Structure 1
Amino acid sequence: MQLLQTRVELLHWCATPAQRTVPLHFVPTMGGLHRGHSSLVEAARRPVAGLEPRVLVSVFVNPLQFAPGEDFSRYPRPLEADERLAREAGADALFRPSVEELFPGGEGQLTRLSPPRELQEVLCGRHRPGHFDGVATVVTRLLGLVRPERLMLGEKDWQQLVILRRLVADLGLPLRVQGCATVRESDGLACSSRNRYLSAAERLQVQALPQALEAARGALRAAGDMVNGVGSGVSGEALVAVVREALGRAQLEVEYVELVQPHSLAPLPRLDRLGLLAVAVRCGGCRLIDHTVLMTRLPLVAIDGPAGAGKSTVTRAFAARMGLVYLDTGAMYRALTWWVQQQGVDPSDGAAIEPLLQGLDLQLSTAAGGEQRVCINGHDVSEAIRSPDVTAQVSMVAAHACVRAALTRQQQAMGERGGLVAEGRDIGTAVFPHADLKVFLTATVEERARRRALDLEQRGFPVPPLAELEEQIASRDHADASREVAPLRQAPDAQELVTDGMTIELVIQTLVDLFRERVPEEAWPGS
């Protein structure tokens, strides 16, 4: 591991993004390193889209984020121990600048950044005015020097993570912000550099903090809403009261206990999907923060997009990586189309199709090798539904209101408890409008025609000229987008992902990153 102390050394080691052959991942810290920081370095070392990155750790006690009277002068600075931990965790370099090196013109000459007030003036920001201005200013300064492809931050400092994600998005910085789950000590206390301020007696006292959050999770489970997602949710006031009572019994000085929406940090009167229960307490001369993420149902992801965009391939792999159930709604419509054809029914005649929906036995399962099996009324049609004949008529069958209603009800029943990722052409708009993440995955007509030709060739079907395939795909797009019932369109809150030029692994990694921006790792670790 190289030790870097000047900006010249740093710039030489980092090189420019254009000069790099592998990504650079950056872990900014204020030192006093512990197991939580080790976990960030270890996460930063993991390959992304098949590339093994280099990892840079910085240690800089930032004077801009300490208010007068706070603990800047006594903040832990165990330089040798920090260097050893960073090396053992796998960092390739450690940047440890002086204040003069990072602020060569002095603090007074710095261009300051101020994140949005609605993200600052809540939780910790309400009690530490100017703190997040200082964080944003210094982190942006470091990002400008390092220019990493990925910024690694701990979920423990949740408000900081939200603010820095917003900063990166608003400034259009070309990097990903990755949050990593809170690491805890054996007694449940979240790892923190400030834990070393605690005496032995105080350490026993603050164990009430993680225990109070566990009591809130228990209250939610007792309310019967942890995985059901039904009813009007649980009272935020009731959850806050549970935590305050537990902290009061331990005689901890409570700075705040609040239930907020995790991404906007707006107050949540009731928990009906995803919420962040955040706490700050003081014990002796130590201020500690912690939180828990509460869910009334397991995560739900909706991936929409036109035919031939590669949704099935990447969604299946993404679901496996995140430990979610894969729901291929397109296969359901294809299976019904196959059944309509087998019964000799005109696919354009909705009235004739409607009786076939009565008692329909349509099942999706995963085979031992991971591939999805599709059965309809006792027939395994996993391969048959990919034929050109089915492809040509599935949009026609899917356009009937009776078909959409019947299969939408079945899909919604499958998704009631969450814990799945569903793909199709109206998942985010019609089937799961309250999904935690919505993605509109698409590609140009030319790219989809090329992929379709390759798929037909691999399956042993005749391959029409590319111009003919492009015309078929464009025609199907028009039919899907103009149908009266549940037309294909991008949901207003969906992220568009155009996959031209992207490898399958890169698309999957992008989906993982988008998911992590909405569902914290500590709430849903995945696999």
Structure 2
Amino acid sequence: MRLLRTRAELLSWRHLEPDRPLHFVPTMGALHGGHQSLLRRAAERLDGRRPRVLLSVFVNPLQFGAGEDFERYPRDLERDGQLAAEAGAEALFAPELSVIYPDGPEGGTRVLAPAPLQRELCARSRPGHFDGVATVVCRLLALVRPDRLLLGEKDWQQLVILRRVVADLGLPLTVQGCATMRGEGDLALSSRNRYLQGGERQQALALPAALRDLGAAAAPGAPAGPLLALVRQRLQEAGLAIDYVQLTAAHTLRPLPRVEGLSLLAAAVHCGSARLIDHVFLMPRPPIVAIDGPAGAGKSTVTRALAARLGLVYLDTGAMYRAVTWWVMRQGADPASAEAVAPLLQNLDLQLSRDADGGQRVSVNGQDVSEAIRSPEVTALVSQVAAHGCVREALTDQQRRLGEKGALVAEGRDIGTAVFPDADCKVFLTATVSERARRRAEDLRQRGFAVPPLQELEASIAERDRLDSSREVAPLQQAEDAVELITDGLSIDAVIQALVDLFREKVPEEAWPGPGGQPRA
């Protein structure tokens, strides 16, 4: 592992392998298992490429207030280097003060963190702290120029603020939050845990226990007042000096009068000379991801993989409309006539199930039609059938019932607008008509069907877009709060990773860990 002390050394190292993505973990040193977890996450291959991992160690004076522990903050660069190397860091950037602040901490440009995110939680008792954090991180990002910045969810307010700063400044990188690492008694790992003496470590365990126990008992809609009072009582009984106990919206950090949406129950306490922070997330139901977009954009392929990656159920709503279309064709009814289609829905038993490999199977009245509904004949007529109000009403009701328990990824044409308007994460996945025609030709070829000329496929896809977008009931359109993701030129792995990143901007790992569960030291 390389030790970099100057700007020139950093730039020289950064240019060694420019084709590899650079993942960056900024710290103030005094490394522990939580930092090592971030470094191991930073070393993971995300889209088939092996990243370079850089750690920085810099105790930033701008984020310490008067009377805080800047002078006695633990510093041990040699030990930090050993722990970083063990966790996969390829280089450690440990600059002198003059490298970060050439004109001194007070003499250079300052970055002001967004005011609305600095009204509650730690900002109330640490004025100027997050401005100092935003300033030093922006300076580090300008020097390092990483592709991905990894931060712990333990400092949730800091993560929310830095995500906003990166977005507001249009910085070309991804901010990845990683779940809090916990040790014995669920105490969140922190460099300041070193200040705990004798019985104080046992005393500190009351903080995660109070938040965990009382947060788990809080029902959706429960008023904040009694909940916060109970947490304060538990902390005071343990002899902890309370800085704050608050219930806020997870992403805006505004105080909440009751448990609603994704809520953050957070507290800061003093235990001896240590100031400790912790939180839990409260969710009314497991998350729902809505992925909409036009035909041929690759929604089914990536949605299925995304569901497996996040530990969610995959709901292929397009297959449901294809199954109805297959049934209409099987009955010899006119697919363009709502009057002819409506009676066929009365005796329709449409079931979705999963096979041994996790794929979705579709049956109509007991017959497996998973392959039959992918034929060109069904594809040509599905937009006509799906446009009928009776069809959309019947299937939308069924989809909503499937989604009442949450924990699913659904894809289709109107998932984020009509079916799950309250989805936690909405994406409009699309591609150019020419790209979708190319993918459709490849899919037909692999399935053994005849492949029409590309020009004919492009015309067919464009017409289907027109029909889907102009139908009277639930037309194809991008939800106002959906993020558009154009997939031209992206590999499947890259699209899946982009979807994971969008999901994690909305749903923290601590709120929905996924298949692996919460990490521990």
Partner Cα distance (1:74, 1:359) in 2: 75
Corresponding residue of 1:171? 169
1:149 aligns with one of 142, 147, 150 = 147
Larger deviation: 151-160 or 371-380? 371-380
For the Cα contact (< 8 Å) 2:291–2:299, is it kept in 1? yes
Q: Return the letter of the residue paired with 2:340.
A: A
Q: Return the letter of the residue paired with 2:134.
A: A
Map 1:414-429 to 2 at 5 A: 414-429=402-417
* Corresponding residue SS for 2:48: coil
Map 1:78-117 to 2 at 5 A: 78-117=76-115
Structure 1 residue 253 corresponds to structure 2 residue 253:
no
Structure 1 residue 55 corresponds to structure 2 residue 53:
yes
Q: CA deviation at 1:108?
A: 3.0
For the Cα contact (< 8 Å) 2:117–2:161, is it kept in 1? yes
Structure 1 residue 241 corresponds to structure 2 residue 229:
yes
Q: CA deviation at 1:493?
A: 0.3
Identity of aligned residues (%): 67
For the Cα contact (< 8 Å) 1:219–1:239, is it kept in 2? no
Q: CA deviation at 1:379?
A: 1.1
Corresponding residue of 1:367? 355
Corresponding residue of 2:267? 279
Partner Cα distance (2:426, 2:383) in 1: 22
Long gaps (5+) in structure 1: 226-232
1:355 aligns with one of 319, 334, 343 = 343
Partner Cα distance (2:47, 2:21) in 1: 10
Q: CA deviation at 1:367?
A: 1.2
For the Cα contact (< 8 Å) 1:45–1:53, is it kept in 2? yes
Q: Deviations over 1:120-169 (max 9, x none)?
A: 12211111111011000000000001000100100000000001101111
Q: CA deviation at 1:430?
A: 0.3
Q: Deviations over 1:294-322 (max 9, x none)?
A: 11100110000000000000000111111
Larger deviation: 193-202 or 358-367? 358-367
Q: Return the letter of the residue paired with 2:303.
A: T
Q: What's the TM-score, normalizing by structure 2?
A: 0.97
Q: Deviations over 1:261-313 (max 9, x none)?
A: 11111122222331111111112221111000111100110000000000000
Q: CA deviation at 1:107?
A: 2.0
Corresponding residue of 1:69? 67
1:323 aligns with one of 292, 305, 311 = 311
Long gaps (5+) in structure 2: 516-521
Q: CA deviation at 1:101?
A: 2.4
* Corresponding residue SS for 2:192: helix
For the Cα contact (< 8 Å) 1:57–1:93, is it kept in 2? yes
Q: Return the letter of the residue paired with 1:175.
A: L
* Corresponding residue SS for 1:109: coil
Q: What's the TM-score, normalizing by structure 1?
A: 0.96
Corresponding residue of 2:199? 201
Q: CA deviation at 1:237?
A: 2.5
Map 1:286-301 to 2 at 5 A: 286-301=274-289
Corresponding residue of 1:229? none
Corresponding residue of 1:38? 36
1:445 aligns with one of 427, 433, 449 = 433
Partner Cα distance (2:18, 2:124) in 1: 41
Corresponding residue of 1:230? none
Structure 1 residue 392 corresponds to structure 2 residue 390:
no
* Corresponding residue SS for 1:406: helix
Larger deviation: 351-360 or 323-332? 351-360
Partner Cα distance (2:44, 2:349) in 1: 43
Corresponding residue of 1:26? 24
For the Cα contact (< 8 Å) 1:114–1:133, is it kept in 2? yes
Corresponding residue of 1:521? 509
Larger deviation: 103-112 or 509-518? 103-112
* Corresponding residue SS for 2:509: coil
Q: Return the letter of the residue paired with 1:364.
A: L
Partner Cα distance (2:210, 2:43) in 1: 34
Q: CA deviation at 1:401?
A: 1.1
Corresponding residue of 2:500? 512
* Corresponding residue SS for 1:524: coil
Corresponding residue of 2:465? 477
1:186 aligns with one of 170, 184, 188 = 184
Partner Cα distance (1:95, 1:276) in 2: 33
For the Cα contact (< 8 Å) 2:292–2:416, is it kept in 1? yes
* Corresponding residue SS for 1:108: coil
Corresponding residue of 2:13? 13
For the Cα contact (< 8 Å) 1:215–1:242, is it kept in 2? no
Partner Cα distance (2:166, 2:10) in 1: 21
Q: CA deviation at 1:242?
A: 2.6
For the Cα contact (< 8 Å) 2:54–2:90, is it kept in 1? yes
Partner Cα distance (2:467, 2:225) in 1: 49
For the Cα contact (< 8 Å) 1:64–1:134, is it kept in 2? yes
* Corresponding residue SS for 1:187: helix
* Corresponding residue SS for 1:364: strand
For the Cα contact (< 8 Å) 1:215–1:243, is it kept in 2? no
Larger deviation: 365-374 or 378-387? 365-374
Corresponding residue of 2:518? none
* Corresponding residue SS for 1:418: coil
Partner Cα distance (1:163, 1:400) in 2: 46
* Corresponding residue SS for 2:185: coil
For the Cα contact (< 8 Å) 2:130–2:158, is it kept in 1? yes
Q: Return the letter of the residue paired with 1:126.
A: R
Structure 1 residue 121 corresponds to structure 2 residue 155:
no
Partner Cα distance (2:11, 2:230) in 1: 50
Partner Cα distance (1:171, 1:137) in 2: 12
Partner Cα distance (2:399, 2:234) in 1: 41
For the Cα contact (< 8 Å) 2:114–2:165, is it kept in 1? no
Would you say how many aligned residue pairs link Structure 1 and Structure 2? 515
Q: CA deviation at 1:359?
A: 4.2
Partner Cα distance (1:434, 1:363) in 2: 25
